Structure formats: C-alpha cells, structure tokens
Structure 1
Amino acid sequence: MKNFMIVLSVFAVFVFYCMIRALMNKKPISRHITWLLFYDLVSIIGNIIIIFSGQYKPSFIGYLMYLGGTDWLFYFLVKFSMAFCDYQFEKKWWQWVLLLLTIFDTTSVLLNPLFHHVFTLEAVVLEGGEIYYKLVSHAFHYVHLAFSYAVVAVSLGIFIHKMIHVSRLYLEKYLTIFVTFCIVIVWESWYVFSKEPVDHSMLGYSLCGVLMYYFALRYLPFFLTEKMLSAIVSNMSDAILFLDNKGDCVYFNDGAKKLFNLQAGDYSAAKKTVCAIISDSDMDDCESLQVIRTLSVDNAERIYEIEYQKLNDVRNVYAGAFVSIKDRTEEEAEKRREQYLATHDSLTGLYNKEYLLHKMELLLRDNPETEYLILCSDIKEFKLVNDIFGRQAGDSILANVARVVKSYASDNSVYGRIGGDMFALMMRKKDFSQELFERGSAGFVHKEGNEVYPITMHIGIYEVKERDLAPSIMIDRAFLAMEEIKDNVQQRVAWYDDTMRQSLLWAQQVTASFESALKSMQFIPYLQAQVNADGKTEGAEVLSRWLHPEHGLMGPSRFIPILEKSGDIVRLDRYMWEAACGILARWKREGKNLYLSVNISPKDFYYIDVYAEISSLVKRYGLDPAMLRLEITESVMMNDLDRKMQIINSFRQDGFIVEIDDFGSGYSSLNLLKNIQVDSIKLDMMFLRQSTDSLRTRTILQHIISMAQSLEMPVITEGVETQDQVDFLKVAGCNLFQGYFFSKPITLESFEQKFCS
C-alpha cells in the first residue's frame, strides 16, 4: 500500500508538471488539456488522501474529491476528444445537456454527506495491517458510474471515427490514447465488479492524462515530422540513397529505382551506381560534395546534379552518408533553349538586338586597337512585299538575307537582326569590301511561281571613331546614312558623316519648334508673280517662309522636306491655304482681280479630307473658287489614282482650277497625262538648265507645250530667269511665266506695292 501511494504521488507530480506546461502553451487545445489535467490531479489527490489518512472523515472527503473530480475529468475528456480529433456534433444543444448532467452528478456527489445516497464507507484491514476505508456503493453511485461510462463511450466513439478516416501517418497518436483509455476503463471496471478495496485504476487515469498532454502538445514536432520526412524522401522524384559506415547501400527510394532501373532490395546494384557517379576518393576525402556531372546512360548523355554528405552521430563519429542525385538533363536543355531564345532571333538564328549590342560592346572593349565598321541594312518597302506575297514569303526573304549577312561576315565580327527587316553587322575595317556588299545588296530577288520580284536593299555604314559611344548610337548613325539613300535606286551604300548628324539635329529642332512657330505666326506667305505674255500680272503662287527668331528668314528647302517626313506639312498647308483665302477676300473687297495658287502636298490626301477643307475655307471667306488655284505634283497621282481623280473632279466641278506642278521633272508620262484631267500644267525651266543638249531640250519643251495646247491645257512655266527664255517660251506658245526674271518671292506688302498699285 505504501508503494502504491509513492507511485501515485510521483504520477501526481507528473500530472501537475504537464498541467503547468499546458497552461503556458499557446495552442487552442491546451485549454482543454489544462482543465482535464487539473481534474485528473483533483482525483489523484483525493485517492492519496484516502490511502494516506486511514481515517473516516478525511477518507470521505477524499472520495468526494475523487468522484467529483472524475465527473469533470470525463466532461473535459469529451471536449479534448472533439478538439484533438477535429470533430463537431451536428446538434449544438447536446453540449448543454452534457454540462447540466455533469453539474447534476457532481451536485449529487457533494450532497452525499447529507443523504448518503451515493456511497458510504466501510473500514477494512489490509494485509499489512493498515486501515483503509473502502467505498460501499448505493443507488446514485451506479448513476454516477453509468453517466461516467456513457461520457467515456462518447469520447471513445469520437476517437474511433477519427481513426477510421485519418491517414495512417497520423493513426499512431490516436490509437495510443484510445488503447490506453480502454485499458483504464477495463481496469476501473475490474475494480468496481471485483469488490477490491483499493482502486489502483487511478494510475491509469494519470497515465492517460500524461499521454494526452504528450500527443496533443509534444508529439507533432518530433515523431510526426520524422514520419513526414520519411514519406517525403520515399516519394521524392530525386534519387536518394543512404550508405552505412562501411560504404554499403542500406536504403534507396522510388526515385532511385526509376532513375537507375534498380530492383527493390538490390542494394549491391545501388552501391555500384553510386560508385560509378562518385569516385572512392571523393567519398573518402570529402565531407560534402555538390557537383553537376555529365554521364553516358544507354548511349545518351545525361546531366546529373549530385549531392554527397557524410553524417556523424552525436559523438561526432562517422555513421554513414546520404547521396542525392537529380536528373537535370531536361532542365539544362530547357535552360539552354531559353538562353538561346533570349539572345537570338527565332526566325533567322542571328543575335537579337539586345545581345548584339552587348557583343559589339565586348568586341570593342577587347580589341581597342582594331578599326571597325558598323553596317546596317533594311529591305525597301518590305511591308509591301509582305502584303503582296504573304507573311511566309516575307519570313523566307528575311532568312535568306540572314544567310547572306552571315556569309559576308568575317571571323572577328558580330551580326544580328535588330527588328523587322533591319540587320546590323560590325566587322573589321580591313575585311570590308564595298564592291562585294554593293553586288550582294543588288542581287536579291524573290521568286513566286513564274514571277520574279527584285528586292532592293540599302546599306548604311558608320566607321567607329568615337569608341566611347554606345553601340546603339553607332547603329542609329549607320541607319541615318542609309536613310539618305533610301529613295535612290542607283546608290546602294552610304557612309555616315557629321553633316548627316547636323541634318538630324536640325530636323529634330524643326519638329520640336513647329508647334510654337505655328501658334506665333512665324510662317509668312510670300508671293511670286505669274505674268502673261503681255507682261500683265494675273496672279501669284503662295510660297511659305519661316521667320525664325534665331535663324532669321528661312526658305522652304530648310524645313519643308522635314515637315513632309514628320507629317506636319498638313498643318502648315492648312495654315497657308487660310492665309491665301484671307488675302483673296481682302483683294476682293478692294477690287483687285488677281488669283493665288496654293500647293497641296501628297501627305494632305492621306491625312485630311482635302476637298472638304479647301471648300469650307472658300465658302467661309466668300470667294470665287477659280481665284484659288490648286497645284498638285505628279507624285500625288502615282498611288490610289481613282480616289484622287474623284477629289480632283470634285474640285473642278466646283469651279476650282487644278494644275499639275513640276510637270516633266519626275514621274510624268503620256499615259499619266492621258488619265489625269486637269486644267493646266506647270513646267519647270530647271529641266532646260540641267540638260547639256540645249537644242534637244528646247525641242522637247516646245512639243510638250504644243501638246498641252492641243489638249486645251494652258501651260505655266516657272523658273524663268532670262529674256532669252521668255522669248523662246512665247514662240513655243506658253501662256504664263513665273520666275526671278519677273520677280522673286516677296512679302504681301511688297507684292501689292509692285503689282497692285
């Protein structure tokens, strides 16, 4: 009996310790564990009092503590079981029923001193001579037992439900508590029905409480982690092998079986595999090893990432090693593919722009004494090629160009496709042959069935002199040189010089300042008189001049081509049209019967509704359409002829006079003259001045004028500078003259003073 009390006291200390630890724990379930252990401790203390006292009253109090404590022990056992097993009853009211029944049974036990309806005590003498008061059950003690067994059955049912549905990985912790509790119940039942005087089952309750604390709050961080790690290692796709301290393989996972075609339990084959990958010297000399190696497997190259790690025990004595082997073949292949795509153009296989710039920078840095050239090219009207022949044909042309670029490149050069149809090449100056590149750029054709389409390429060249410039700027300069000859079908190669850079800077300045110049009316209409054969001024052509605040008065050659390229010419033309209408409106009020001619740029036909714009201006200013003559160049009619002829016909039907400007200087042909219905043509005497055969040129001019007269199309000749030219043109039948012989372009005020007074 004394030994039992000592053991029970030790268990009481354990239960108290676990209760304090649970109280300090932050997990939600720790609250239920704390209360469960508290009432377990109350029951244990009651038993200790019963055993230790040997007197009636203390023993009576001990039994009250024991029976009342077990009531709440079982109540919190249900609460713990629900929390531990993640179980919830569908009906919430049962918890209130359980609480009320627990209170009722505890109250019944506490009222026993008054009614003795639960138990009485009977003194017995044990074998050692100790007096012990055993419990004599009455009716309500059996009610207490029935309630206790029912509550315990609920808890066991919750555990059974959880064990049926839980993963086998977690089964152990539930099964251990379940089995222990079943043993305690059997132990308790044996005490009740065997009439033994001393209840030893309290040891089982104590053990159960400690196990619940352990599995709820301590088990997860250790054993569960070990099991999960074991499951993870077993199911990893990487090959994992363990070697003992003798170097023999004692474990390999499914990943190793699959990777090396190992049979289950064939540890000798596994060891041979490890030795084939990691040499004996590596295993002997290295504490750890992490390498990537390429091995031949089944006549194919495979890439493996290998990790080898020696393991020591707590005494730092060598215990074995583990080997991790990962097949990186596909990953490395994908990595190389991604690296290739990141640095190369997918269509041509050449370097892409970003990587080409990087390679250029490296080449210049590593060869500071070598002279280099940067060559850039594109395909003239490549979009048109794509539209006509399709994307597939366009891709084929680009691939062919790439092959030619590659074939022309020397060993110490870099090249690539930098976007669209644009290619760039940096090569040593001494390896460059302009003749070779001119011949190569002229030899491209595309065959589509029986049709052969010539591919025009231009090449811009920048000689690397300023080596501190970024390669992207060098490429821009090469393209700038190429732009200079883009419309020249005869010249295929152009070299960059500083004049081009100055032109580019000037173009940027013009474009940047155009908006403010337009708003501040820096553009001024200048008039150049048009005189008939009798010397009478009939009208004038409106020409734009820019009165720049820094550069002074600028002629059209300094800004018109730039505005044509940027598209801003459309806004300037509208500005000049309205200025002309304003002048004509004032002349009309003053009785001056003179017309004005204005120019319509080819860009105007694409960006605005020319007919609507000019018609609305004439109506707004109340003008006779015939007083505002419209000049269009031959180049306007080279594309979309039908639509533009409709616009011209609309103008003519409204009474406007439409003239072809610079006839004979560009694309004119008899076929074009046949299709275009206009009111007059305008010849440029530059045609005569540029010819070395004056007689031949005069004959051509005379026949053009004669043909125009036959078509009832008056002829205006501009660029007239001498009396000899005037005399010739009069004899030839020219109607109107314009040029410096009569007047250079002058301001409106000067024009009115000279020709309107």
Structure 2
Amino acid sequence: MSDSSSPIKESLPASVKTSAFIALKLAVVYAAFSGLYILLSDQLLYFLFADPAIITFVSTIKGWIFVFLTSVMLYFFVRSQVQVALEASRLQQEVQEEKRRTEERIHHLAYFDGLTELPNRVLLTDRLAQIIVQSMPEKMQSALILLNVDRFKKINDARGQGSGDSLLKALSLRLRAVIRDGDTLARVGGDEFAILLHSLNSNPQSASHTARIVANKVQQALNIPVVIDDNEVRVTVSMGLTLFPDASDDSADEVIKRADNALHKAKNKGGNQALFFESEMGIAAEQYFQIERELRKGIDQGELQLYLQSQVDANGKVMGAEALVRWLHPERGLVPPAMFIPVAEDTDLIADIDKWVFEQVCLLLASAAMCERSLRIAVNISPRHFRRSNFVNWIKSTIAKTGVDAGKLTLEITEGLLVDSVSDAIAKMSELTALGIHFSIDDFGTGYSSLSYLKRLPIHELKIDKVFVQDAPANTEDAALVETILAVAKHLRLRVVAEGVETQAQADFLNERAVVTHQGYLYSKPEPAGRWLENQLLS
C-alpha cells in the first residue's frame, strides 16, 4: 500500500523545487536582459544618430519592442507556473483518492470477509448489539443461526484449499437466496456462517417457529449438490439457533455464545441437524417443529384415526355424533389433540386434517350400515380452510365422490371465522345449506358474539362451550350466561348442543331450561369410529 503511494508523495516536492528554480532563473535573465537592453540600446542610438527627432522615433520603437519581449517572457513564465499548479493539484487529488481507497480497503478488511465478501464476525457482533438495543422497547424477538459445514476439513484436505474456497463461495450464494432483505448473512470463521434474522415477532413461539422455517430452508437449499471443478460435492450443515434479546441485560456476545452452544450440540449428535439453545422456549420450539414435521409425515402415512363422540337427547337417545381426530404415532402412541391441533392450526396442515376427517365421515355415513339411519355427524372446519376460495367446490366434490346424503352433515365453525368477512361466510354457507348441509356455531359465547350476524347467518345450531356448562349448576354468572344463550337460541329457533356434560347435575340444569342435545363423558367418551358404529348397530 505504502509503496504504490510513495512516488506520488515524492514527486510533489520536486515539482515545487523546479517551479521555484524556474522563477528565479527567469527573474535573473529578465533583470540582465532589461539592463543590457536599456544600456546598449541607448548607447547605440546616440552613436548612430545625431538628430533628436530620429532618436525619439527609434526610442519609441525600442520601447514597443521591449514591451513585446517582456510580454513573451511573462507569458512563458505564467504558463509554466499554471502547469506546475495544475500538476500539483492533480497529484494532490491522486493522493487524496489513494488515501480514500486505502481507508475503504482497510474498512472492508475490518468488517467483511475477503473470500465471500460477506460481513465478518466484527460486523455481525456490531449489528447484533444494535438490534438488541432497538428490540428492547417493543420486545421484538430476533434470531441468530450459526451454521457449520459438516466434514469440511475432510473435503478441504481431499480436494485442496482452492476447492474448499470455491465451495465456501458457492455456499454463501445459496444462503443469500434463503434470507430476507434486511437480514444479515455473515461468515464468522473458516467453515462457519451466521444468519441474523431481524425482528421476527413479539411472540417468542412464533419467532422460534419462523427461525425454524429458515433453518429448514437452509437444509433444503444445501440438499442440492455443489459442482466444484466438474465434481459434485454433497454437503450438510449443523445449526445452532437462539432468540434474542433473552433478557434486559442480553449482549451480542451472550447471543453468539448461546447459538454456538446449540451448534456444538448439533454437531455432537452427528451433524446435519438444527437445534435450539436449550432454554424452555428453545425446547418448546424444538418440540413444536418436530410435531409439525412428524404430523406432516403422519398424515401422508395414514396415522390419523377417526373418533366419534355421541350427542344425545334428554333421555339419552343418540341423535348423532361429533367427529374428532386422533393421531396414532408409531413411537409416541396416541398423541392428544391438544399437542398437535394448535400446531396444525398455525400451518396448512389443519386443512389437510379437515379434508381427511370430512372424507372419512362422508364414507361412514354413505356406508350400508349407516345409510338407513337418520344420525347426523358434525365435522369441525378450521377458519383457515373455510376461507380458501375452493372450499365450497371441494365440499361439493367430496359429497359427489362419496355419495353421502348431505342432509346428514353438520359443519361446525367458530365465531372467529366471521370477523374478517361476514358477507363471504354467508355466501359460502348459503351455497352449502342449499345442498342440505347444516351449520353450527362452535364454542358459542367465547368469541365474537353478536346477535346482528346471528340473524344473517344460515345456521341451524349453537354449541355451548363446556367452560360455561361445567359450573352452571353452582355458579350464578355461568348459569346466567347459559340461560341467555338458551334464550337467544329459542328466539332464533336454533337447536342447542351443550358440550362437556359430565355430571347429572349439569344435565338436569340444562333439561330444566330448554330442549338441549347433550355431549360429554356422562353419556359417552370419544371412541374409534368403528367401535362407535358397532355400538349403534347393537342398540
């Protein structure tokens, strides 16, 4: 760096010295020329001419000649000085430009990786610190993913450092395509990269899930072999993830430390996996993502099971049932709905579950054993699925394919579905009601309850949530709520189903006030669809 700039710096003083020397030389020559010119010319005039008039005329001509010669000398002197000044200015600009480029190179080397041109650990740490400060007021969660190339040393030793560098550059391009604009991809070590995900969500669970999705995208992006020197190289990575800020005193170093601990644990477990830092939040996110992954696989491999829970009248006669889903995991056994339904509802998996349950119910109702019975089965439909543009056509197609009597179907929807677009919901419900399908508002009273939309909706039934039913006999507030729902249903001529009826006192409370269909452990527990059907055939 210094060698390239030294000639420029040395040439500037030389130019200045040359300029001063020329100026001095011209001044001496000018003084000598002027003195000699005046002295010799005057002597020569008086020697050659005696007539004063001629002497005067010649003196005038001599004066103009002197002016001309002086002007010529001044012209060359000024031109030389301007050229020196311009040259000095040009050289000074070159010095400044070289200084600027040198500072930029120093800055780039300080904050960016020379091989991949990605931010380095220093810049990553700086950005981490800034995000921590920015995130504190809004309690916004961000995430750091550290990833390490598995077996990179063996690849580097086998193919040479040049191939190893080419691989790292290729991986950096793959990783750049995965992250969002505004996020940071950095190279923090030899074969170690970092992904800084800025402002994911204020909810730690959602932020963890998003970070997991990015980690999954990284693995998918690196599944494709990298071509190095006409050879395919397959690589896997280990990843450590952590959210931040974890506390008010969280620091960039602590965040990196947590992610690094998780990374080492992933490598110690054999690599090719992503692990959250083992805090409660990290463990929960890990379980969440594992359930999502295994549930997706379980749906494809037929691990879901249809369960039915009877709905009975005041005398205990079965009027129908609600369809429920269970997941029979090959290792975990029967997974409770509370563990996988919330995960499914956060993803498109809930629509896949809806489709499977609805089709199984249609097949059951269309079977020879059920076609002669007037039993109705209710199926829960998620808001995410209901809002899809092809929902109505899918229902129609399934009914046509299975040959089920649509009049035996009830679709249960929640009040929350109606918040976004009541008009769209009414249009879809009306089209399906025309086929004979009934609609029920599930968990009525726990969500967006409004008499105005109840009057407009083509519904047939209200379901009282079990939280109101359980304490109604003893709690005056719950009793008042249940009585209000019963009054609304009576006014709108709607049927009522009470969920969670577990004691005779609860059943008596309901029966004393209205005609109510009961659903709960007092009458029957959820059971496999096959067993439920056998019980109905025997009754």
Count, aligned residues:
359
> Which SS does the other structure have where 1:566 is aligned?
coil
Question: Is the 1:242–1:250 Cα contact (8 Å) retained in structure 2?
Answer: no
Kindly indicate whether residue 439 of structure 2 is the aligned counterpart of residue 658 of structure 1.
yes
Alpha-carbon distance, 1:563 to partner:
1.0
Alpha-carbon distance, 1:469 to partner:
6.0
Q: Which residue of 2 aligns with 1:578?
A: 359
Instruction: Name which of 221, 241, 246 aligns with 1:461.
Output: 246
Q: Which residue of 2 aligns with 1:716?
A: 497
Alpha-carbon distance, 1:555 to partner:
1.7
Q: Which residue of 2 aligns with 1:249?
A: 18
Instruction: Name which of 520, 523, 526 aligns with 1:745.
Output: 526
Q: Which residue of 2 aligns with 1:668?
A: 449
> Which SS does the other structure have where 1:615 is aligned?
helix
CA distance in 1 between partners of 2:201 and 2:120 (Å)? 10
Alpha-carbon distance, 1:736 to partner:
0.6
Alpha-carbon distance, 1:534 to partner:
2.1
Look at both structures and tell me which one has the larger radius of gyration over its CA atoms: 1
> Which SS does the other structure have where 1:265 is aligned?
helix
Question: Is the 1:357–1:471 Cα contact (8 Å) retained in structure 2?
Answer: no
Alpha-carbon distance, 1:264 to partner:
3.5
Q: Which residue of 1 aligns with 2:313?
A: 532
CA distance in 1 between partners of 2:120 and 2:537 (Å)? 62
CA distance 1:304–1:730, change in 2 (3 Å): farther
Instruction: Name which of 403, 415, 419 aligns with 1:634.
Output: 415
CA distance 1:512–1:691, change in 2 (3 Å): same
CA distance 1:250–1:566, change in 2 (3 Å): same
CA distance in 2 between partners of 1:472 and 1:360 (Å)? 17
Which structure 2 segments of 5+ residues have no match? 1-7, 22-76, 113-118, 142-195, 204-243, 263-276
Alpha-carbon distance, 1:622 to partner:
1.6
CA distance in 2 between partners of 1:566 and 1:679 (Å)? 29
CA distance 1:470–1:690, change in 2 (3 Å): farther
Q: Which residue of 2 aligns with 1:113?
A: none
Equivalence map 1:219-230=2 (5 Å): none
Alpha-carbon distance, 1:501 to partner:
2.1
Q: Which residue of 2 aligns with 1:358?
A: 125
Question: Is the 1:595–1:628 Cα contact (8 Å) retained in structure 2?
Answer: yes
Equivalence map 1:518-667=2 (5 Å): 518-587=299-368, 591-607=372-388, 609-667=390-448
> Which SS does the other structure have where 1:721 is aligned?
coil
Alpha-carbon distance, 1:728 to partner:
0.7
Percent identity over paired residues:
26
Alpha-carbon distance, 1:667 to partner:
1.9
CA distance in 2 between partners of 1:527 and 1:378 (Å)? 43
1:315-342 CA distance string (max 9 Å, x none): xxxxxxxxx7445587689889999999
CA distance in 2 between partners of 1:694 and 1:565 (Å)? 35
Kindly indicate whether residue 251 of structure 2 is the aligned counterpart of residue 470 of structure 1.
no
CA distance 1:467–1:326, change in 2 (3 Å): closer
Q: TM-score, normalised by structure 1?
A: 0.41
CA distance in 1 between partners of 2:405 and 2:395 (Å)? 12
Q: Once superposed, what is the RMSD of the aligned Cα atoms?
A: 4.8
For structure 1, which segment, 509-518 or 724-733, has the greater mean C-alpha deviation from structure 2 after superposition?
509-518
1:202-252 CA distance string (max 9 Å, x none): xxxxxxxxxxxxxxxxxxxxxxxxxxxxxxxxxxx99954728xx822599
What amino acid does structure 2 have at the position aligned with 1:498? S
CA distance 1:609–1:339, change in 2 (3 Å): farther
Question: Is the 1:587–1:593 Cα contact (8 Å) retained in structure 2?
Answer: no
Which structure 1 segments of 5+ residues have no match? 1-236, 253-261, 275-296, 298-302, 306-323, 343-351, 364-371, 381-416, 425-458, 477-495
Q: Which residue of 1 aligns with 2:298?
A: 517
Q: Which residue of 2 aligns with 1:731?
A: 512
Equivalence map 1:51-130=2 (5 Å): none
Alpha-carbon distance, 1:709 to partner:
1.2
Kindly indicate whether residue 80 of structure 2 is the aligned counterpart of residue 265 of structure 1.
yes
CA distance in 1 between partners of 2:504 and 2:516 (Å)? 15
Equivalence map 1:687-698=2 (5 Å): 687-689=468-470, 694-698=475-479
1:684-732 CA distance string (max 9 Å, x none): 1212447898112212211211221121111111111110110011112
Tell which has more relative contact order, 1 or 2 (C-alpha 8 A, sep 6+): 2
CA distance in 2 between partners of 1:655 and 1:469 (Å)? 58
What amino acid does structure 2 have at the position aligned with 1:735? V
Equivalence map 1:43-442=2 (5 Å): 241=12, 243=14, 248-249=17-18, 264-266=79-81, 325-327=95-97, 357-359=124-126, 375=136, 377=138, 419=198
CA distance in 2 between partners of 1:505 and 1:512 (Å)? 11
CA distance in 1 between partners of 2:83 and 2:407 (Å)? 107
CA distance in 2 between partners of 1:325 and 1:356 (Å)? 29
Q: Which residue of 2 aligns with 1:216?
A: none
> Which SS does the other structure have where 1:593 is aligned?
coil
Alpha-carbon distance, 1:750 to partner:
2.6
Alpha-carbon distance, 1:267 to partner:
9.3
CA distance in 2 between partners of 1:710 and 1:680 (Å)? 12
> Which SS does the other structure have where 1:732 is aligned?
coil
